């Protein structure tokens, strides 16, 4: 049994175990993948300020995100097709998050349905909404999330149109995978994945199939999905969705100060600084570089979280010290899930928590809530290198 010490260890196991099309789905970005790479590498430019001869006892990483107690300022991000990374992937990731004490966010494009996850867990989870042209479907989807007891609605704003991801096109990405000579050859090398998938509760998009008229299988689903993302989504429609939900709302996909101000004005409980993991607008700045500007723009008017690029507890610490109240991990937990199922997600959370805790101590802090810019050494040009 391999000794897992980093998220990278999990990624290597994940790559060996999961079919190529699903590995590439997670481990890629749009076009040249510049933003995908920058999301992680830009964290490296921020250095930590070491402090010594301080009391390191009694440390705590506990805090809150949108008023909910969390074991550390980390939530599992919404990731589509998670149930293709491992059988019943969303259900198992949600249970791992519940046991660890961090929020889990279920994607609209999940394999396991809202009801599947609600029946498998006892702690309320968050539900992520993609806005579709079919307004009746959206209303019913929101009601299903309410009925399942979801404690927050996460509205994704940066996927009105799909960014081109070359690897997905070349792999013929689908759920379940289409049996071509290429995919069959790859699946033959991933036999443990295949055996587990035979017993999976679902192998198609559980929030869509059976809930939309005329959608009963993968072929009809593909045609519907291709034309359903709402190109007309604007702030007025976002406001209506917030009103329709009537509970806590997180707006995800904010990468501009003006958009952040609009989100705060609409009454969002939190915004997520995110570029969709580098999977939408290639050439956009990394989330961590945009975080200071957005924090300056909104002040204390809305809680600010950060997504995209986090691969360690040190990354979490840097984001929180820069001013984020919470962070999201997507690929990091998917690596663990694909590598070892629910245990792998727990392992990913344990790795990140340990790195956060030890780094916090070596920076001279006993509580994650005391982290601030005083813990960091940030290059002078980090925030102002690119000007509008």
pLDDT value, residue 210: 87
138 vs 219, residue with greater confidence: 138
Question: Is residue 386 over pLDDT 70?
Answer: no
pLDDT value, residue 256: 97
- Phi, then psi, of 98 in degrees rounded to 5: -60, -45
CA distance 113 to 118: 9
Among candidate residues 276, 305, 353, 374, the one labeled active-site is 276
Which two three-digit tokens encode residue 102? 């961090």
Q: Active-site residue 276, yes or no?
A: yes
Map the chain to HEC letters. CCCCCCHHHHHHHHHHHCCHHHHHHHCCCCCCCHHHHHHHHHHHHCEECCCCCCCCCCCECCEEECCEEECCCEEECCCCCHHHHCCCHHHHHHHHHHHHCCCEEECCCCCCCHHHHHHHCCCCCEEEECCECCHHHHHHHHHHHHHCCCCEEEEECCCCCCCCCHHHHHHCCCCCCCCCHHHHHHHCCCHHHHHHHHCCCCCCCCCCCCCCCCCCCHHHHHHHHHCCECCCCCHHHHHHHHHHHCCCEEEEEECCHHHHHHHHHCCCCEEEECCHHHCCCCCCCCHHHHHHHHHHHHCCCCEEEECCCCCCHHHHHHHHHHCCCEEEECHHHHHHHHHHHHHHHHHHHHHHHHHHHHHHHHCCCCEHHHCCHHHEECCCCCCCCCCC
Question: Is residue 385 over pLDDT 70?
Answer: no
Q: What is the mean pLDDT of residues 312-316?
A: 98
328 vs 169, residue with greater confidence: 328
Q: What is the mean pLDDT of residues 52-77?
A: 98
CA distance 41 to 39: 6
CA distance 267 to 248: 10
Name the class of domain 7-371: alpha beta
Q: What is the mean pLDDT of residues 178-182?
A: 86
pLDDT value, residue 219: 55
Tell me the average pLDDT of the chain. 94
CA distance 120 to 378: 43
Each domain of the chain, given as residue ranges in start order, spans 7-371
pLDDT value, residue 310: 98
pLDDT, tens digit (0-9, with 9 covering 90-100), for 207-257: 998 898 777 655 556 567 768 889 999 999 999 999 999 999 999 999 999
CA distances from 196 to 78, 96, 144 (A): 23, 18, 28
Could you tell me the strand order of the sheet in which 105-106 lies?
74-76, 326-329, 303-306, 270-273, 249-254, 152-156, 126-129, 105-106
pLDDT, tens digit (0-9, with 9 covering 90-100), for 183-212: 889 988 999 999 999 999 999 999 998 898
Side-chain half-sphere exposure of 180, counting CA atoms within 13 A:
10
pLDDT value, residue 188: 87
Nearest to 35 by CA among 317, 275, 355, 205: 275
pLDDT value, residue 174: 83
Question: Is residue 126 over pLDDT 60?
Answer: yes
pLDDT value, residue 349: 98
Question: Is residue 363 over pLDDT 70?
Answer: yes
């Amino acid at each position: 049994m391999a000794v897992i010490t980093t998220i990278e260890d999990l990624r290597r196991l994940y790559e060996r175990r999961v079919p190529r099309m699903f590995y590439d789905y997670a481990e890629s970005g749009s076009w040249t993948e510049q933003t995908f790479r920058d999301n992680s590498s830009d964290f490296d430019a921020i250095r930590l300020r070491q402090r010594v001869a301080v009391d390191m006892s009694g440390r705590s990483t506990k805090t809150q995100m949108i008023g909910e107690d969390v074991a550390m300022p980390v939530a599992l991000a919404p990731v589509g097709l998670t149930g293709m990374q491992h059988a019943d992937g969303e259900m198992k990731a949600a249970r791992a998050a519940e046991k660890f004490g961090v929020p889990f966010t279920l994607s609209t494009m999940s394999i396991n349905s809202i009801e599947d996850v609600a029946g498998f867990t006892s702690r309320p989870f968050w539900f992520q909404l993609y806005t579709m042209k079919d307004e009746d479907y959206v209303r019913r989807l929101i009601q299903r999330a309410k009925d399942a007891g979801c404690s927050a609605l996460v509205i994704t704003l940066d996927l009105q149109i799909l960014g081109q991801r070359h690897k997905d096109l070349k792999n013929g990405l689908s759920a379940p995978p289409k049996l071509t000579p290429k995919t069959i050859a790859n699946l033959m090398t991933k036999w443990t994945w295949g055996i587990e998938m035979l017993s999976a509760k679902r192998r198609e998009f559980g929030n869509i199939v059976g809930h939309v008229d005329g959608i009963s299988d993968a072929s009809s689903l593909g045609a519907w999905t291709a034309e359903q993302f709402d190109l007309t989504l604007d702030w007025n429609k976002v406001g209506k969705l917030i009103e329709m939900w009537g509970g806590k709302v997180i707006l995800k996909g904010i990468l501009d100060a003006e958009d952040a101000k609009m989100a705060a004005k609409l009454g969002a409980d939190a915004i997520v600084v995110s570029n969709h993991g580098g999977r939408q607008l290639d050439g956009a700045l990394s989330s961590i570089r945009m975080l200071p500007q957005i924090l300056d723009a909104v002040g204390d008017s809305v809680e600010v979280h950060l997504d995209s690029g986090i691969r360690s507890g040190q990354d979490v610490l840097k984001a929180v010290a820069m001013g984020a109240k919470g962070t999201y991990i997507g690929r990091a937990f998917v690596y663990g899930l694909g590598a070892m199922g629910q245990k792998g997600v727990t392992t990913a959370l344990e790795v990140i928590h340990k790195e956060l805790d030890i780094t916090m101590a070596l920076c001279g802090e006993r509580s994650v809530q005391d982290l601030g810019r005083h813990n960091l050494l940030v290059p002078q040009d980090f925030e102002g290198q690119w000007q509008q």
